[in-house]
């Protein structure tokens, strides 16, 4: 069981039997081992899949928005990686709680929980640390009961972008990759103007949808499918497509789990690399799996940190790999499936 769930179990006397909202949990056995009337909101499709079957369907939500649960006796946020995502979640959780209801924040010390006091103090009469164990902390405030109603439009950013051949507007939400800007890797990939093969194109790890919007306009004979694990990214991608008059199918997937059929091309700024770790096992699994989704002669076109040893992996699973563009940080790779 995850450390955050174990520290919650240590405070079972505060939680057992309560009607509780649990946000951003790990997909473990907490909701079974701690008896409560659980209602879970997650934006992580992997966690959603892992919790299916452990909760009644109507008590588990995968969405960019928190479900409107009534008569809650408390709410718990498992600290997300991005502080802005925590603020986004708390802004939706607090209005669901009546005055003096507890709002908990739990997380690992290395994962931003040290900011819990500041995050919670604004929502109630200060914040108190209830427990510290297993490199985690559990914090609580009792809400004022006067939190303003959540408005999605207050949190959405409209990001204007200009390219030599077009202008567009992206929609972005807190915690979505490269929130509020165009990241350097995607910018380099979009400098490459070589046409994609005609047919279906998969935008893997689509984020706010910038690759699909730009490339769909450049490649009118392509039909785009956009996938991501993050519900907020999927919402932004749908909004970005609509605002820019681009058609595309948008749906969640955990890796390639929900991707079916074969594609003329797969494009991606893949979310495989964190910090400076050189572990390429996730990338290798993707390169191995994506071969089943590429048509003969289909192209894989990705951008990645230049120091990552992707070419041997790409060539082992797909075919000869060439560098289309590069700068001092990133490289754009292309490989064509045999046939």
Q: Which residue has the higher pLDDT, 308 or 90?
A: 90
| Alpha carbons 54 and 1: distance in angstroms, whole number | 14
Walk me through the domains of the chain, giving residue ranges and CATH numbers: 3-152 (3.40.50.150), 156-336 (3.40.50.150)
Cα–Cα distance measured from residue 108 to residue 298, given in angstroms and rounded to the nearest whole number:
43
CA distance linking residue 78 with residue 87, whole number of Å: 12
Cα(195)–Cα(219) distance, integer angstroms: 6
The pLDDT of residue 172: 96
How far is Cα 113 from Cα 24, in angstroms, rounded to an integer?
A: 14
115-120: average pLDDT? 92
- Tell me the per-residue pLDDT of 254-305, one tens digit each, with 9 for 90 and over: 999 999 999 999 999 987 754 444 557 778 889 999 999 999 999 999 999 9
Average pLDDT of span 170-181: 91
Ramachandran sector of residue 297 (left: φ over 0; alpha: ψ -120 to 50; beta: rest): left
Q: Is the pTM of this model over 0.85?
A: yes
Spatial neighbors of 156 by CB under 8 A, at least 6 apart, are: 171, 172, 173, 236, 239
What DSSP letter does each residue of 259-300 carry, written as one string? --S-EEEEEE------TT----HHHHHHHHHHGGGEEEEEEE
Residue 96 pLDDT exceeds 90: yes
Of residues 227, 218, 270, 269, the one with CA closest to residue 248: 227
Contact 75, 104 (CB under 8 A): yes
- pLDDT tens-digit series, residues 179-202: 888 999 999 999 999 999 999 999
pLDDT band, residue 176 (cuts 50/70/90): very high
């Amino acid at each position: 069981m995850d450390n955050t769930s174990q520290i919650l179990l240590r405070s079972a006397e505060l939680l057992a039997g309560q009607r509780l909202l649990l946000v951003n949990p790990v997909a473990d056995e907490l909701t079974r081992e701690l008896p409560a009337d659980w209602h879970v909101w997650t934006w992580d499709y992997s966690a959603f899949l892992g919790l299916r079957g452990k909760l009644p369907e109507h008590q588990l939500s995968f969405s960019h928005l928190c479900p409107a649960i009534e008569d809650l006796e408390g709410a718990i946020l498992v600290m997300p990686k991005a502080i802005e995502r925590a603020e986004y979640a708390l802004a939706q959780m607090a209005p669901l709680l009546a005055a003096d209801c507890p709002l908990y924040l739990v997380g690992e010390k290395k994962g931003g929980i040290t900011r819990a006091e500041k995050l919670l103090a604004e929502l109630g009469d200060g914040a108190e640390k209830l427990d510290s164990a297993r490199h985690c902390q559990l914090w609580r405030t009792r809400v004022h009961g006067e939190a303003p109603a959540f408005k999605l439009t207050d949190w959405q950013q409209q990001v204007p972008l200009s390219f030599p051949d077009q202008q567009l507007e992206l929609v972005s939400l807190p915690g979505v990759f490269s929130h509020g800007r165009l990241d350097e890797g995607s910018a380099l990939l979009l400098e490459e103007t070589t046409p994609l093969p005609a047919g279906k194109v998969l935008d893997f790890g689509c984020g706010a949808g910038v690759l699909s919007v730009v490339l769909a306009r450049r490649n009118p004979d392509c039909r785009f499918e956009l996938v991501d694990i993050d519900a907020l990214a999927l919402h932004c991608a749908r909004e970005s497509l609509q605002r820019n008059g681009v058609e595309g199918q948008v749906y969640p997937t955990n890796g390639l789990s929900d991707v079916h059929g074969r594609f003329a091309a797969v494009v991606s700024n893949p979310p495989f690399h964190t910090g400076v770790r050189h572990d390429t096992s996730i990338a290798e699994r993707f390169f191995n799996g994506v071969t089943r989704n590429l048509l003969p002669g289909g192209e894989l076109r990705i951008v990645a940190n230049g120091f990552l040893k992707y070419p041997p992996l790409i060539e082992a699973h797909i075919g000869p790999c060439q560098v289309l563009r590069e700068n001092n940080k990133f490289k754009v790779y292309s490989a064509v499936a045999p046939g």
